[in-house]
Structure 1
Amino acid sequence: MASPDKQQKRAQRAKAKAKQNRSGKSRPNVVHPVLANPLINEPFDDVAIDLSTFDFKDIEENGFDPAHFDDLFEAMKYGEGISLLAMCLVFLQYPVLELVIAEEAQDSATDFMMGLLITYRAIFHDEDEDTAIQWIGGEAFQAAYDEASTILQKKNARSA
């Protein structure tokens, strides 16, 4: 059995931790409060995505089937229900998108990203391509996208 002094120290630590949990403080390593939500921070951890079968050249030549991106679009919809920033954070953490950004030319990666965003807006907001492009180019989306990118850079720098 632990000494009375050790027991007292353990009790104090447990009491402090319980108080912290009750006060709703976010974890100290969270870069931004929205990342405290596990469905926004690492939203695709539980999704099985086989990146070895992903063929970007085929997508460039023939386009993509939106059904292959249901997980992304549903997670984006959930994120958008919280905020535009949350939606952008979800979007930028999609493993397929991360792969395309890392391995493809900037113009090709940008075209792919635009295609995903336009398709998302068509499915969930019933927008045509021109309206979706206006939304993507709008101040609100651009600000949220830039902030999301910065947040993820900080998060990735902390975990490296």
Structure 2
Amino acid sequence: MASPDKQQKRAQRAKTKAKQNRMGKPKANVIHPVLANPLINEPFDDVDIDLSTFDFNDIEENGFDPAHFDDLFQAMKMAEGISLLAMCLVFLQYPVLELVVAEEAEEAATDFMMGLLIVYRGMFHDEDEDAAVGWIGSDAFQHAYNEASLILQQKNARSSARSEYNR
């Protein structure tokens, strides 16, 4: 039989291990802590968006109906309550936006993104277009947007690497 001292050390290790298992182990290789929040990481996984019916030419010619982007705007508002970085991460993960950026000319995609951000600021911050454009051009927004873009690039690179590894 082990000495009382050894038994006590074993019991302490078992207690510590049980506590770690109850609390969950910290995730290794987390790109950024804000992505630990499921409302920020893949926020549109449970939203049914039919990209086959999306018509960018119609939006370019006639503008867009903000009601069609309510899921985006609501997710952005929730994320903005966490941080500006979280809001930018949600914005950049919107499937329609990803489609536009991938398939349209850079200038048209930028105009579309600006339009969405301007409408968002008008809806939730009661700002006119000039104030919204000023916010988009601010150092705080630009820094958060660029950081969000880099985080998503790293995340996508890791996802691609995992996909290649699992083949």
TM > 0.5 fold call: yes
Counterpart code for 1:144: A
Q: Matched residues in 2 for 1:99 and 1:77: separation?
A: 22
Q: Matched residues in 2 for 1:111 and 1:62: separation?
A: 13
Structure 1 residue ranges (4+ consecutive) displaced by more than 6 angstroms after TM superposition: none
- Structure 1: 5+ residue runs without aligned partners? 1-11
Is the alpha carbon distance of 1:65 and 1:20 closer, same or farther for their aligned partners in structure 2, counting shifts above 3 Å? same
Counterpart code for 1:65: D
Deviation of residue 17 (structure 1)? Answer: 7.4
Alignment-derived partner of residue 91 in structure 2: 91
Is the alpha carbon distance of 1:26 and 1:91 closer, same or farther for their aligned partners in structure 2, counting shifts above 3 Å? farther
After superposition, residues 3-152 of structure 1 pair within 5 angstroms as 16=17, 18-19=19-20, 22=23, 26-152=26-152
Give me the TM-score of the superposition, normalised by structure 2.
Answer: 0.83
Q: Matched residues in 1 for 2:132 and 2:25: separation?
A: 37
Q: Matched residues in 1 for 2:22 and 2:40: separation?
A: 20
Deviation of residue 30 (structure 1)? Answer: 2.2
State, as a whole percentage, how many aligned pairs show the same letter: 76
Pairwise CA RMSD:
1.8
Q: Residue 79 of structure 1 contacts residue 86 of structure 1 at CA under 8 Å; is this kept in 2?
A: yes
Is the alpha carbon distance of 1:27 and 1:17 closer, same or farther for their aligned partners in structure 2, counting shifts above 3 Å? farther
What's the secondary structure of 2:81's corresponding residue?
helix
Give me the TM-score of the superposition, normalised by structure 1.
Answer: 0.87
Is the alpha carbon distance of 1:52 and 1:138 closer, same or farther for their aligned partners in structure 2, counting shifts above 3 Å? same
